[in-house]
Amino acid sequence: MSCPDCVTGYVHTDTPKGTEIKVADINAYATGDDASKRIIVIGADVFGWKLVNTRLLADEYAAKGFRVIVPDFFNGWELPTWTMNAHDPNESSRSFFKRYVLVPASLFIMVPCVISNIGSQVSRVTSIVSALRTAHPDAKVGFVGFCFGGRFAISQNFQFDATVACHPSLVKFPAELDGIKSPFSLAVAATDRAFDAAKAKETERILKEKGLKDIEVVVYEGVSHGWAVRANLADEKQKQARDDAVKQVVGWFEKYLTSDHAESSTPATS
């Protein structure tokens, strides 16, 4: 399901360090050492590959020695960042128009667009990972997805050496768990309407009953859906949770995007 939290948040302020390139003829933001044998692909939320928050996250991962790619999985479509302020419950100046027209309108625009393009988005994921493996045959390739991008960390996990899903949404549960064959880490907000603590624990149970061992589930208290990308950095609790999610992602890929894990070096086919 989708909810107002999918289009709520704060735009961060800093200057990304990477460049814009093309991978498999798809626009992408790239940062970090191009010679790195550890590559992370980011599946952005509905604010798209140009959102400064996502690019700054990519830079943080890159600072740990990864090559990081943020592709345009939505083929040029993205939700404008002004919708974040339109949904900010702490914004006292919100007009009636923002509150009762823009809030539902952004959801009605977002959901049909995202759902109707799932096929092309999966195709783009496949094209990206294929191009990266061809160009960097000795590298390990991981995927971290946020919100709708988190869905691909689940359903397309088998294409990667490891994946992380942060506050995933629109997941076909439990059917899409069948896509998980490689190491998988999950980060959710305890009361997230899209994927809460109960569903996260059920995910862990299902995957471990299938015999999968490299599974991690982390539940974050006191934050809402989207916190890993769009947290209010002036709020100490939100910032800490956001920083902890960064550590979770980096830690998972430092562990599994290495030659030491031979069993995950060749992902299973779906």
Cα–Cα distance for residue pair 6/46, rounded to 1 Å: 8
**pTM beyond 0.75:** yes
For residue 241, give Cα distances in angstroms to 106, 113, 215, 229, 245: 26, 30, 20, 10, 6
Amino acid type, 137:
P
Q: Which residues contact 166 (CB under 8 A, 6 or more apart)?
A: 144, 145, 146, 147, 150, 153, 187, 228, 229, 245, 249
State mean pLDDT over 77-102.
60
The pLDDT value given to residue 208 = 97
State the DSSP code for 76.
T
Superfamily covering domain 4-257: Alpha/Beta hydrolase fold, catalytic domain (3.40.50.1820)
State mean pLDDT over 90-99.
54
The closest of 155, 148, 189 to 54, measured between CA atoms, is 148
Q: Quick one: pLDDT band at residue 81, thresholds 50, 70, 90?
A: confident
Q: Give the ranges where 102-194 is alpha helix by DSSP (H).
A: 103-116, 118-135, 148-155
Domain ranges of the chain: 4-257
Cα–Cα distance for residue pair 256/65, rounded to 1 Å: 14
pLDDT digits (tens, 9 = 90+) for 98-152: 555 665 665 565 555 555 566 688 999 999 999 999 999 999 999 999 998 999 9
pLDDT digits (tens, 9 = 90+) for 105-114: 655 655 555 5
163 forms beta bridges with 143, 184
